[in-house]
Amino acid sequence: MADSSNPEKKEVISPQGIVAPVPSQPAGSEVDGTAPSDQQNVTTDLMKKLLSKYQSKINKELNLPQEAQQESPAKISSQEYLEFKEAYLPKHLSIYEQLCNMSEKILKVAPPKPLEKDIKESIEICHLNITPEGATSLAYVGPLVVTLFGLFFSLFILNSLFFMLFSVTLGLTLLIVLRQMPLFLANNWRMQASNQMVLCVFYVVTYMRHTSNLELAVDFASEHLSGPLALDLKKVLWDVETEKYENVRESLDAYLETWRKWNMEFIEAFHLIESSLFESSESRRLDLLDKSLSVMLDETYEKMLHYAQNLKSPITMLHMLGVILPILGLVILPLIVSFMSSVKWYHIATIYDVIVPASVYFMGKSILSKRPSGYGDTDISKQNPELKKFRNIIINLGGAEIVMSPLIVSVLVGVTLVMLALSPLYLHSIGFPDFGFYGDPPAFKFLGYKESLKTGEEVGPFGLGASIISLFFPLGLGLGFGLWFKLRSKNVIKIREDTKKLEAEFASALFQLGNRLGDGLPAEIAFGKVAETMEGSKSGLFFQIVSNNIRRLGMSVEEAIFSPKVGALAAFPSKIIESSMKVLTESSKKGPKVAANALLNVARYIKEMHKVDERLKDLLSDIISSMKSQINFLSPVISGIVIGITSMVTSILGRLTDQMSTIQQSTDTGAATGFAGIAGLFEEGMPTFWFQIIVGIYVVQIIYILTILANGIENGADKLNERFMIGRNLIKSTVLYVVVAFFIMVSFNLIAAQIMDATLSLGG
């Protein structure tokens, strides 16, 4: 069967924004419009008159001035594609584009010859408006600016050799990262696109079963997909409209070549689809379409199997280097800062709150970049404007609906708790009188500021009360960000979960609907019959809404399903269900038998996809459960225990230093010199107040990063579920960390106080 994908028209966009169809030039016509024969000349004049007539009507309907119709077209373009690109291209890419273009003007650097081809290919994949020279220029200009600024700040303001070395290291790291940035962005784009590939083949095959037209099938898939792959398919059609390629097959083949190194099964599936266009036998055509989806599903499962097998070693390494070793390293830090006066809290903060989280993040992104294609969900609130309000907090008061931004709640909670955590600093600055507790004399102080033995300045706060209050800092960060992510996604994720329940049972519902249509029942009646049969289920509710809209509101089947206000899809926003219903309405135009067969095949495809999806989840279950245990239990509990030990060690060293000073003052000169030498081994150390804040920030960061990694491995590029999981894990794990740290800190300090009192009383 021949391919009918050759375009017959373009869109011309005038400066006034008028979009009008321009017929193709007749064969044999010249560029200036003159025809070789009188007949062709008459035809051309007639076409111009018709175009002018209808353009004038459009201007009148849009209330545009009559002069608009006299303007010549500015350019040939696809307004739909440009709008789609503007809506779906990530905003951070625009910032990267601006930085690259700015750097190219400052210092133009040509990329290395071996990398030039890869950089150019990556730029095209991401649809970036930059040149390879711009990307390479940023890789040198950016690190140079950061390094020079860091050296100036470290040398003249901080006077710190540590931060000078850190600035140089940061600059070299940025040089490596920015040189690879186009490749990194392309890999990220591929991962998001590959997550929709199974659905892409499903949509194309589903459409071509009843209408053998490749161009319409690709357009159908681009409408129902989201993210990068939908943008890529729009680009395929756009290249045909602008005559870059003669037909959609050539444009599609050129696009598929970009996936040759990454996803051969996607190419094989589309080649089978294209081959079906040339089959004269209907049965062989349908077999090729079925085979294309089977190839995609089987290869996806096989690649995910290998990915799951190869994932255990990188995840173990990430867990050890990024989580276990840094946390265990915290145990010896109190001793380091107690015996080394040159080590300050901001040195540890730089290592634990900047270097380690950044390293873990890039290791995790490297693991995710190797993930094969799978199944990905999208943020339905982005696809359906009616659902955008569910990103906010919705309060019903007496029938009135109050919508409040989650940002207000998260900022209020976060700022309040963080300010409370820093209250010991404010209290000390205003001269708040310190007090002790537990015992006589009291073993602990509330603030615990003391005079430095070396500088004579006040240092602290070392008090147990200040250490406990500092726990509100990570609690404020965790609850603040957690509430923002959770409240922003909670309502939307609930709608999607209801939709997923419908998708899980929708295949059997489609079987029943297809059988009813096959029996000769009209679609208007078939929906009501299936709704009665499946009463009490999500599918039954969906079909009941359609039936009620038809019977009570007098709608057509298409309106009853797709109406943006009262349609069934408004209550269950699902691309799979929407595409199934589109197939129903399109195929029903060819008769109930065609519609019945189409629905039965869609139901079979959905069941096959669901089966493979469950097998993929089973493959990754061990790794995902291990990562969830790290996020929800191991990381916060181990960190909380470390804080308790740190507080105890700091308390013991502090009391030993104070006792040595007391003994030194009450003994003769020779003994005092000996005690001074022993006391000199100890420094004031780092207050648990600051140490806990550093560790608390690290805990919040590592939970955030591990959640992104776990969601990426399990669900691919699913931003909605990622936000929901981040919100839930940040709240739960941060609260667990604070509770464990509080109880360990209090209990260990009480035990240490009793031991110290007993030891000192025996010594006395």
pLDDT in tens, 724-738: 899 999 999 999 999
The answer to which of 185-189, 233-237, 272-276, 743-747 has the lowest mean pLDDT is 185-189
Note the pTM of the prediction, 2 decimals: 0.71
Residue 496's CB is within 10 A of a number of other CB atoms, namely 25
Residue 358's CB is within 10 A of a number of other CB atoms, namely 15
Residue, of 132 and 671, whose pLDDT is higher: 132
Residues 6 or more apart in contact with residue 34 via CB below 8 angstroms: 41
Bridge partners (DSSP) listed for residue 610: none
Calculate the CA dihedral of residues 618, 621, 624, 628 and round it to 10 degrees: 130
Query: Has residue 286 got a pLDDT over 90?
Result: no
pLDDT of residue 41: 56
The answer to which of 73-82, 345-354, 400-409, 644-653 has the lowest mean pLDDT is 73-82
Q: How many helices (H) and strands (E) does the chain have?
A: 31, 9
Integer Cα distance of 642 and 686 in angstroms: 14
- What is the pLDDT confidence band of residue 668, given thresholds at 50, 70 and 90? low
Contact 277, 1 (CB under 8 A): yes
Query: Has residue 69 got a pLDDT over 50?
Result: no
Residue, of 715 and 747, whose pLDDT is higher: 747
Q: Cα dihedral sign for 633, 636, 637, 639?
A: positive
CA atoms within a 13 Å half-sphere pointing along the CA-CB vector of 4? 7
Integer Cα distance of 84 and 219 in angstroms: 13
Contact 629, 711 (CB under 8 A): no
Integer Cα distance of 377 and 192 in angstroms: 10
- What is the pLDDT confidence band of residue 520, given thresholds at 50, 70 and 90? confident
- Specify burial of residue 176 (Cβ count, 10 A radius: 0-12, 13-18, 19+): exposed
Query: Has residue 417 got a pLDDT over 90?
Result: yes
- Specify burial of residue 529 (Cβ count, 10 A radius: 0-12, 13-18, 19+): middle
What share of the chain has pLDDT > 90, as a percent?
9
Residue 377's CB is within 10 A of a number of other CB atoms, namely 21
Angle (nearest 5°) at CA 195 between 190 and 200:
105
The answer to which of 40-44, 117-121, 328-332 has the lowest mean pLDDT is 40-44
pLDDT of residue 62: 60
Cα 290 to Cα 297, 430, 601: the distances in Å are 11, 77, 9
Query: Has residue 65 got a pLDDT over 60?
Result: no
Angle (nearest 5°) at CA 602 between 596 and 603:
90
DSSP one-letter code for 11: E
**Amino acid in position 566:** V
Contact 21, 8 (CB under 8 A): no
Both tokens of 280, joined, read 């004269």
Domain locations in the chain?
17-70, 89-191, 194-306, 310-372+433-467+612-763
pLDDT of residue 28: 41
Integer Cα distance of 221 and 496 in angstroms: 21
Residue, of 286 and 506, whose pLDDT is higher: 286
Integer Cα distance of 261 and 125 in angstroms: 13
pLDDT of residue 203: 83
- What is the pLDDT confidence band of residue 387, given thresholds at 50, 70 and 90? low
- Specify burial of residue 664 (Cβ count, 10 A radius: 0-12, 13-18, 19+): middle
What share of the chain has pLDDT > 70, as a percent?
79
By DSSP bridging, strand 9-13 and strand 458-459 are unpaired
Query: Has residue 119 got a pLDDT over 70?
Result: yes
Integer Cα distance of 472 and 737 in angstroms: 11
DSSP 3-state of 110: coil
Give residue-wise pLDDT tens across range 86-95.
655 666 667 8
The arithmetic mean of pLDDT across residues 71-76, rounded, is 40
Integer Cα distance of 355 and 552 in angstroms: 64
Phi-psi region of 243 (alpha: psi -120 to 50; beta: other; left: phi over 0): left
Both tokens of 388, joined, read 């955008």
Residue, of 177 and 324, whose pLDDT is higher: 177
- What is the pLDDT confidence band of residue 16, given thresholds at 50, 70 and 90? very low
Both tokens of 648, joined, read 């105890």
Contact 420, 738 (CB under 8 A): no
pLDDT of residue 401: 73
Residue 505's CB is within 10 A of a number of other CB atoms, namely 15
Residue, of 693 and 23, whose pLDDT is higher: 693
Integer Cα distance of 708 and 719 in angstroms: 9
CA atoms within a 13 Å half-sphere pointing along the CA-CB vector of 671? 9
Residue, of 378 and 297, whose pLDDT is higher: 297
pLDDT of residue 187: 78
Cα 209 to Cα 56, 217, 248, 284, 583: the distances in Å are 41, 10, 18, 12, 10
* Residue for token pair 């507790």: 437
Contact 297, 198 (CB under 8 A): yes
Top mean pLDDT of 314-328, 361-375, 520-534 is at 520-534
pLDDT of residue 701: 92
The arithmetic mean of pLDDT across residues 366-376, rounded, is 67
Phi-psi region of 127 (alpha: psi -120 to 50; beta: other; left: phi over 0): left
Phi, psi of 563 (to 5 degrees): -60, 125
The arithmetic mean of pLDDT across residues 635-660, rounded, is 79
Residue 381: in which H helix or E strand, if any? helix 380-383
pLDDT of residue 5: 41
Top mean pLDDT of 242-246, 566-570, 613-617, 694-698 is at 694-698
- What is the pLDDT confidence band of residue 470, given thresholds at 50, 70 and 90? very high
**Maximum C-alpha span of the chain:** 126
The answer to which of 209-213, 252-256, 325-329, 540-544 has the lowest mean pLDDT is 325-329
pLDDT of residue 504: 72
Both tokens of 16, joined, read 């006034």
Bridge partners (DSSP) listed for residue 21: 11
Give residue-wise pLDDT tens across range 432-441.
888 888 777 7
DSSP secondary structure, 430-445, as one string: TTPPP-EESTTTTSEE
Among 488, 492, 490, 485, CA closest to 387: 492
**Amino acid in position 538:** K
Helices (H), 519-591: 523-533, 538-553, 557-562, 568-571, 575-587
The arithmetic mean of pLDDT across residues 485-509, rounded, is 78
* Residue for token pair 């219903």: 581
pLDDT of residue 22: 43
DSSP 3-state of 280: coil
Integer Cα distance of 398 and 408 in angstroms: 23
Angle (nearest 5°) at CA 582 between 288 and 527:
115
The arithmetic mean of pLDDT across residues 560-574, rounded, is 80
Integer Cα distance of 671 and 666 in angstroms: 9
* Residue for token pair 């909380």: 640
Contact 237, 205 (CB under 8 A): no
* Residue for token pair 């037209």: 213
Residue 508's CB is within 10 A of a number of other CB atoms, namely 15
Contact 369, 187 (CB under 8 A): yes
Give residue-wise pLDDT tens across range 247-264.
899 999 988 888 888 788
Residue 216's CB is within 10 A of a number of other CB atoms, namely 17
Residue, of 358 and 328, whose pLDDT is higher: 358
Residue, of 34 and 518, whose pLDDT is higher: 518
Residues 6 or more apart in contact with residue 635 via CB below 8 angstroms: 323, 327, 699, 702, 703, 706, 733, 737
Both tokens of 107, joined, read 């210092």
Phi, psi of 445 (to 5 degrees): -110, 155
Q: Cα dihedral sign for 207, 210, 214, 216?
A: negative
Cα 647 to Cα 330, 476, 640, 682: the distances in Å are 12, 21, 11, 16
Query: Has residue 164 got a pLDDT over 60?
Result: yes
- What is the pLDDT confidence band of residue 477, given thresholds at 50, 70 and 90? very high
| Averaged pLDDT of the chain | 77
Residue, of 231 and 86, whose pLDDT is higher: 231
Give residue-wise pLDDT tens across range 608-632.
777 777 777 777 777 778 778 888 8
DSSP 3-state of 533: helix
pLDDT of residue 39: 53
